[in-house]
Each structure stands twice: as structure tokens, then as C-alpha cells.
Chain A
Amino acid sequence: MALLPAYVAAAFAVIVLLTDLFAGPRAVVVATAGGAVLTAVAAVLVGAGPDRRSFCAGDACSYLATDRSALVAVLFALLALAVLALSAPMLHAGAVPAGEYCFLLACSMTGGVVLGAAGDLITLIVALETLTLPLYLLVGLRRVASPRAVFTGVGAPRYPEPPPEDGDVRLHAEQDVAAEQVRMERTGAESAVTFFVVSVVATSVTLLGAALLYAATGALHLTALAGVLDQGGAAGNLAPLIGAGCALLVGGLAFKVAAVPFHAWAPATYDGAPLPVAAYLSTASKLGGVVALLAVVHDVLPAGETSGVLAVLAVLTMTVGNVVALRQTRTVRLLAWSSVAQAGYILAPLGASAFTSSPRDPLVAATLAYAAFFVLLELAAFAAVVALRPVAADGGELADYRGVARRAPWVGGMLAFALIGLAGLPPALAGLFAKVTVVRALVDGGASWLALIVALNAVIGLAYYVRVVALLYGPPTRDGSAGTGWTHVPWPVGTVLVAATVLAVVLGFAPEPLLRLTAL
């Protein structure tokens, strides 16, 4: 029973794969969406019941179905659903093979669903890998519709269908599509390889850390490990081993959240991936990293062991992310660097726990709350970018967005709203409360200096967010920014965009439910 959400998710991944054999892409998409919805429902059902545990060895269990795990599972299911909706136009146009795409997405979701319930290091790492492994393929997965594709024989070349009424877009599509496709194919492959190599290294580092911890303590279960470490660790001569194990473990997980100095893969990968995959990377994948880090840092490691490292990581991450984002000219790269910076804010409360003797729960709650606000706003931003771009296009240059909000006031306005939220300013109160939550937790935890650094970073952040927002409302260029097909927003994309924005607005006025939920 405790495993129900995981079973549902995994079963639907298989069903999706089978559906692809017998039915068209539409059925595949429907099956995937159904799987995500059912997974979310199952997670809610399990979460509503009492805490359950499974695969136990004595007191220690490998699978713990708690309220928190249910929350994480629901979040992953919803994110997968949203990303699927964002991908719908792309799948419809045949830019990526629907069956493989949906299968990989469902697999990744399964990993996320298990992740929240992981009770030992092995389950945790395997779940995290199940979450990220399909992404290596998703990043590079693009059915190539360029002349080269004919020679290499990849798939049936099919052009993305431009919106019918829009002459500009069709013109653009016909003129540039070949060169663009070749470029996108190459960057897609490059991104996938970058991501793959970096991730494999990160995973092996994480595994090495877990192995060292096991060697030093003989425990793998989070609770058992915590018990051993709390008692002052193992015998004295093993202390360095534990220290190295912790550092490696945290360092490996820091790759997943793209924390500086383990961030270099993120901008290239985001920019080369199809937009919905980039959205998934910056929301679900990052959330996975945060959940795993929380499990390790909060549940296992004693406060002094890693927090100093984490505080340094957080400061570096937010500062480097923000400063580099200032100079970006490509939309997705800007979002990627900004999400690196945001990872710094997420890590900051965890880092603060080194400097406080007070209970760490408020800090963890702040981390989760900020992560939830961030994921929501980031999803809205990506949804708006998908809605503004032609089908299956990449994020394009920032200059392509000049004046967009004047011609597409609603979509452009929602993009502006999401960006302002990421900057943490009214009228996007959700972002403001996220900022207040983190700073408050830091001040509360006695790390006012870290709070000051977070606060000052918000100023750097505003510099580039406001640049983009000003661009959105700027005077349109003469050539009519041909790359931006805003006239026609497919309904799944529109639904995600509106839902995310409405949720952000509602949470802006009533953040209490989310703050309570994350304080579990």
C-alpha cells in the first residue's frame, strides 16, 4: 500500500511504452497524462493515511511513506503532467518521437515519486538516478527534420507546423528552418553529452561518499546512519573517513541542484534541450536534488559536519549565478543562470544550520517552501516562453522578445509576472513571501550575515530580471521580431501557464497553506 504511487507511476511507464506500439501519439500522451494524474491521486491517498514503512530491516526501513513523501510525489506527478502539456505542441508537430518521449518522462517521474520516500542511501541514489537518467536522452531527443536527416535516415522528416495565420512565422520557418534544425540538433547532442558526462561523474562521487560512510559506520539506512553519527561517529580514527564521505555525498548531490562550483553543465544543457525538457530540468530535476540533499543533510548528518560547506556553496551559488546571469543574451541561458542563483537561495537555510543551536526544522521548512515557490514561478516562466515561441523552437535570443508584452499582453504579462516573482517583488507576492521566508529563517537561525548576502543578491537579481521585463514592454523592433509566434498558443500550454500563474497569484495572497504544508 505504501508503494502504491511508485507502482502506479512505474506501471504507467510500461503502459506508455506498450501503447506506443499499438496506438498513435495521441493515445500515448493521454496514457502518460493519466498515469501522472493517477500517481498524484495515489500519493494523496497514501499521504492521507497513517505513515507507512516498507522493506524494513529491524527498525530501519528503506521506504518510508510519510506526509512529506506524499507531498514530494504529488509535486513530481504534477510537474510531469505540466511538462507533458508544455510538450504537447512539440509532440503534435512530430518534432520529437512521442512514444519514447513520454516513456522517458514517465520513468523520470517514477524516480521522483520514489525519491521522497527513500529511507536508505542506496534507494535514494537509485531513485535520483531514475529521475535523471531519462533526462540524458530527453535533452538530446529531437527528431531531426533537416535535409541532413534524409541522408542519415533519422525518422520521417516533418517540418514543425507554423501557426496558420501568421505570415511572419511561416516565412521565418521556411527560410531558417534547415539551418536552425541543424544547429539545434547539434547543440541538443552536445548538451546531452555534457549533461551525461557531468552527471555520471556526480553520481559516482555520490556513490563513493555513500560507500565511505558505509565503510566507516556500517549503516546505510538514514535513521541508522543518523544514530551512529549522533553518537559522535565511529571510532576516532574513522572520523576523517566520515568527513570525506559526507563531503563527497553532499558534493555529488550539489551537482544535481547545479550549485556552484558544480553548475557548469546547467546553462549549456538547458539551452540545448527542447524547452519543455529545460523546464523539467530546472523544476523537477532541481527539486529532486533538493529533496535528496534535505534527506541527507537534515536526516543524517549532524549539524557541524556539512553545513559550513553548504553555506559556502550557497553563497557562491547565488553570487556567481546572479553575476553571470547579468551578461546573458539568450533567454534560456538567462533562466538557467537565474535558476543557479535561486539554488543558492534554496541552499542558504540548509547552510545556516551550521551556525545555530536552535532546531533545524524551520530552516528545512524554509528550504522546502522556497523550493516550492521557485518551482511554481519557474514553471510559469518556462510555460510563457513555450507559449511565446514557435512550436518546437528553442528559447531564442532575448532580443526576440522585445515588445512582446505589448502585442501579446496576457502571455507577455504572465511572463513578466513570473520573472518579477523570481526577483521577489510585488505585485508577484509569491516571490516576495518566498524571499521573506528564507531571510526570516536565516535571521531566526542566527545567520544574519547570510541573510544579508541573500538580500544583497536579490538586488543583483533584479538587475537582470528588470532588464528582461523592460524588454518585454519595450518598443517593438522594426522587423517585427519574427521569431516569436505569439498569435497562437496551444491549449495545453495555455492551461499550464494560466494554472501556474493563478496558483502563484493565489499563493501570493494566501501563502499560509504552502508554508504549513512545507513545515511538515
Chain B
Amino acid sequence: MSADLSSALLVAVLALPVLGALAVALLPAARDRQARVLATVIAALTLVVAVPLRWGTAESGWFGDGPPVAGPWALLDLPWVPALDLRFQLGVDSISYPLVVLTSLLTLLCCGYTIWRVPPGGPGRLLSALLLVIEFGILGTFLAFDLVLFFVFFEVVLLPMYAVIAVWGGTHYGPDSAEREPQRAAARKFALYTLFGSVLLLVGVLVLVTAAGTSSMIGFPRLDRGTQVFAFTLLLVAFAVKSPLWPLHTWLPDAHTQAPTVGSVILAGVLLKMGTYGLVRVGLGAAPQGAEVLSGALGVLAVAAILIGSLVCLAQTELKRLIAYSSVGHMGFVLLGIATMTATGIQAALLGNIAHGVITGLLFFLAGAVKDRAHTGSLDELGGLRENAPRLAGLLGFAAIASLGLPGLAGFWGEAFAVVASVQRGGGLWTTLGALAAFGGALTAAYLLRLLRRVTHGPASPAVSLLVPSWSVAGALSAAVTASQPGSGAGSDSGAEKPAVAGLPERLVPGWPTAAELLAWSPLVILALLLGVWPALVLSGTDAPINDLLEMVRP
């Protein structure tokens, strides 16, 4: 592929979502459904444009004076604000490519899901537009090869995600459906924590840029040790908030619990990855020695996150909150992999990133589906899902088992090899950390199996017994189905979203996944399987850039 074409692809990957978001938001309210379809089409086009980036080639001559941090396949380099050393420099390489594709895929699934179901709170077309803006920000973060541009894109995501949580979030049924405060508080917490992280990122990035005299991550010069340690400390805190790393994770459970299903999927699936990706790309790439100095601290915190996340999960009684806390544990494995600063560890982290995005995205979709049907997320009120909604229960079981790291499914590689890398690194500290992380893996299995036991097994609880297990009654219930699926817009939420009253037939809810849901979930199910048996899908080609990174650490 020619350099011009790959540059054009890079521009298109970013231009499509942002222009599409504008178009979608400007469509009149009467065309709400068409707007959501348009958003889905645009998300699909973005995916179509993003996939061929794999075969892009950069023209020769982009290498700076120093050794390349990583050789991007495709590169675009335009001046934007010379006075701030800000260049519009985009590229993609084997580290960022899987994340780019995952982002486009999840956004497509979420936009598609939004055609079928708009959470109450606001017009669906605005939700779709915001999803596209978030995609724009995340893709920009993954594609940016300029430190300041990276920061700018990092910030782009903040307010749209805030709006998604604050406007479309919340439970909308049960006693607090009128009270709109919990999701606003959660959204505010998310915004403030994230901004706290990103302002530290700003200072860290500018420390690097002013010390290096360049903002390009390609051929980034080697800075003196003190600057690197200072900058990496700032970056570590910044990315630790985003990832999130214990003890800066407290925004995450609230945000996840309150966010609408699509918000949770995007948040867990790719937004968190901005932190771990940033740590590898910017942290290791620009301040490798700083990373080396602080790797011990990062490792200890990561293992603490694994253990604490898992222990908290064992005590959770709310479905989405449990999955949210499980993210803390899983991201702990990813961060442990990065902290080991070995090729194995970083590959494990990259794979763990993708696997967590796929599996937790699926888990949040399923949790949303369960909550939409049973109108409760409490583990005490759920139970016996297997009886009344066998397919849903089966998928939940699959996702949970993938999440606990069963070999052969996507979750296995990242977590197992993070432990392996930690032990390989050797020394008392790292061996202990590896052992503790392995114990954390066992705890992960414990709480996910507990989740399955509580939700899918046992006798059907009153909330679950409203679910209808069979296809046969579909005709009789079609009225209830359409009422509970406000495809016609946000206005129809009032009737169907009220708490279910036991005994009334029109309150019964179909227990099987609809075609739209299956369509949204199946790519994730397939990916979870595929990555489990073929991890090279993510890892192929990552050797060279990772070795480049590590050479900067230990020349």
C-alpha cells in the first residue's frame, strides 16, 4: 500500500467518526431512528477503514536521528501549532493496531445496539453521536505519535463520556428512577478523577517535550535520569487513574454501575486501555529509565489491585458493580505485565488489554440485558436464570469463564503470562509478586464462579420468574416485547421501565436474547474464542517494537 493511501486511511479513521457525529447530532428529532442507523453505518465504515491499516507502509525517511521507538506502518505528519510544538502526527503500529480495531468494533456494536434500544434519559441520536465522538477521542489517542496531540485526544473523551453517564445513566426503575442524582454524582466523579489524571499527564508530557525539544515520539531522545523519573512519576499517576490502578480506582465502580450498557461497554472495553496503552507508549517509550526505576512500585500496586479487586468482588452484591471491580483486578494483571519490563510481560499486557476489552464488553452487554429484563442487578434478587433464560445464562457462563482465565479462551494468556513474566524477572520481590498474582487469579475464579452460582443456578427468584423461557409464547407476548424495547425513541420509556408487578401477564419479559442482541454479542463471543486459541492474532509483529522499547530501558 502506498504511503499516500495509508495516510488517507489514517485521516479517514479519525474524520469519519467526528464528521459522522456532527451529521448525526444535527438530524432533526423526527429522524431519530434514521440518525442512529446513520451512526451505525459510520461506525461500520470506520471499522472498514481501520482494518486495512495493517497493510500500510510508511515511506522511508521518517526515522528521526535517534533510534525509532517503534516503527509505525502508516504515518501522517502535519504541522498544527508550531508555537506549542504540536504536530498532527498520526501513526499505527503493532502495539496500537489491535486496540484501534477493538475500538472501532466495540463502537460499531454499541451503535448497533443503540438502534435497537435507547436507554431512557435523552434522545438516541445524541447518544449515538456521543459514542462516535468518544470513538474519535480514543482512536486519536491510540494513533497519536505526538505527545501533545496524545494529550489533546486524551482529553477529548472526558466530557462526552461524562454526558453519556449523566444523561443516559442510572437505573430508571425501582425507587430512585425519579431521583436522577446517583448517575450525575458518578459522572462528576468520573470527570474529576479523569481530569486529575489528565492534567498530570499534561505536565508530564510537557516536562518531556521541553526537556527533549521535540514532541514526536518517533526518535525520542534519551533524557537524563532525573527528568525521566519525574516525568514518569507524573505519567504513572495519570495513567493509573485511567487504567485504573488501586488506590486511584474508586471512580470506576460508580461510573460503571451508573452508566448505560453501551457506556459501560465502551468504558471497560477501550477507555481503560487508554491508560495501559499510554503507559507503554508514552511511559516506556519516552521515559524508559524512569519506568525502570519505578517498576517495582508499579508492580506492587498492580498486585495490590489484583488482590483487592478480587476480594472486593467476593463481597459484591450488584451485578454491574461486581464486573466493574473485576476490571480493577484484570487491569492489575495488565499493569503487572507492564511493570515486569520484559518482552513476555509486555506482550501479556497487550493481549490482556484486548482480551479484557472483549470479555468485559461482553459481560457488560449481558449484565445490561439481565438488568433490562429482571429490572434488578442485585445478586440477592437474581437467581435461577438458567431456568427461565437458558441462552442468556449460557452466554453469561461463557463470558464469566473466559474472564476467569480458562485456558483456551482469551482471558488466559494475558493473566498467565503476566505471572510467568513476573517469575521470570526473578528476585525475591518479583517472585513474590508473581505468586501473589497467581493467588489473585484463583480469587478471580472464586468470585466469578460465585457470580454464576448466584445468578444462573438455584430456583428462580421472583424477578427472574417474570422471564419467559420459551420461544413458543413469543406471539402472545409480542405486545410486551415491543413495549419493553423502545426502538421508537426515548419517549417510550415510561410504561415499560416501571418496576415489574408480579402476576400480571403483560409484565412478562422474554428471556431469550433478541436477534439484535445476538448480533451485537456474537463478534465478542467469537473473538473471545479466537484469541484464546490464536493469540498471535494480537501479538504478531509486536516483537520488534517491544524490543525497541526494552532496548531503551536496558541498552
Instruction: Decide whether A and B are members of one complex.
Output: yes
Q: Which residue of B lies closest to A440 (CB)?
A: B206
Task: Knowing A439-B203, A451-B206, say if A459 contacts B196 (CB, 8 Å).
Answer: yes
Are A427 and B167 in contact (CB-based, < 8 A)?
no
Residues of A within 8 A of B206 (CB): 436, 439-440, 443-444, 451
Q: Tell me the bound Cα distance from A512 to B158 in angstroms.
A: 25
Distance from B123 Cβ to chain A, minimum over Cβ atoms (Å): 10
Give the segment of A88-96, A107-115, A285-293, A462-470 that binds chain B.
A462-470
Are B148 and A436 in contact (CB-based, < 8 A)?
yes
Interface string of B188-202 (1 = CB under 8 A from A): 100110011001101
Distance from B200 Cβ to chain A, minimum over Cβ atoms (Å): 7
Distance from B110 Cβ to chain A, minimum over Cβ atoms (Å): 20
Residue A455 at the B interface, CB < 8 A? yes
Residue A452 at the B interface, CB < 8 A? yes
Q: How many A-B residue pairs have CB under 8 A?
A: 86
Residues of B within 8 A of A467 (CB): 188
Residue A458 at the B interface, CB < 8 A? yes
Are B83 and A432 in contact (CB-based, < 8 A)?
no
Distance from B303 Cβ to chain A, minimum over Cβ atoms (Å): 28
Task: Knowing A451-B206, A455-B200, A515-B83, say if A426 contacts B155 (CB, 8 Å).
Answer: yes
Residues of A within 8 A of B158 (CB): 425-426
Residue B293 at the A interface, CB < 8 A? no
Q: Tell me the bound Cα distance from A366 to B188 in angstroms.
A: 30
Residues of A within 8 A of B312 (CB): none
| Contact count band on B | 20 to 34
Residues of B within 8 A of A433 (CB): 81, 84
Are A466 and B203 in contact (CB-based, < 8 A)?
no
Residues of B within 8 A of A420 (CB): 159
Residues of B within 8 A of A511 (CB): 81, 83-84
Task: Knowing A425-B155, A462-B191, A511-B81, say if A470 contacts B184 (CB, 8 Å).
Answer: yes
Residue B166 at the A interface, CB < 8 A? yes
Residue A435 at the B interface, CB < 8 A? yes
Are A470 and B166 in contact (CB-based, < 8 A)?
yes
Residue B230 at the A interface, CB < 8 A? yes
Q: Which of A459-487 contact B (CB under 8 A)?
A: 459, 462-463, 466-467, 470, 473, 475
Residue B210 at the A interface, CB < 8 A? yes
Contact of A515 among B84, B163, B209 (CB under 8 A): B84
Interface string of B77-119 (1 = CB under 8 A from A): 0000111101000000000000000000000000000000000
Are A443 and B207 in contact (CB-based, < 8 A)?
yes
Residue B435 at the A interface, CB < 8 A? no
Are B180 and A448 in contact (CB-based, < 8 A)?
no
Distance from A143 Cβ to chain B, minimum over Cβ atoms (Å): 42
Residue B156 at the A interface, CB < 8 A? yes
Residue A319 at the B interface, CB < 8 A? no
Residue A228 at the B interface, CB < 8 A? no
Q: Tell me the bound Cα distance from A476 to B166 in angstroms.
A: 15
Q: Which of B245-299 contact A (CB under 8 A)?
A: none
Residue B152 at the A interface, CB < 8 A? yes
Known: A436-B151, A516-B83. 18 other contacts (CB 8 A): A425-B195, A426-B152, A426-B156, A427-B156, A427-B159, A433-B81, A437-B84, A444-B210, A452-B203, A456-B199, A458-B199, A462-B191, A462-B192, A466-B159, A466-B191, A473-B167, A475-B180, A515-B84
Using CB atoms and an 8 Å cutoff, list the residues of chain A in contact with chain B.
420, 425-427, 429, 432-433, 435-437, 439-440, 443-444, 448, 451-452, 455-456, 458-459, 462-463, 466-467, 470, 473, 475, 510-512, 515-516, 519
Using CB atoms and an 8 Å cutoff, list the residues of chain B in contact with chain A.
81-84, 86, 137, 148, 151-152, 155-156, 158-159, 162-163, 166-167, 180, 184, 188, 191-192, 195-196, 199-200, 202-203, 206-207, 209-210, 230
> Can you spell out 5 A-B residue pairs with CB atoms less than 8 angstroms apart?
A426-B159, A436-B86, A436-B206, A439-B203, A458-B195
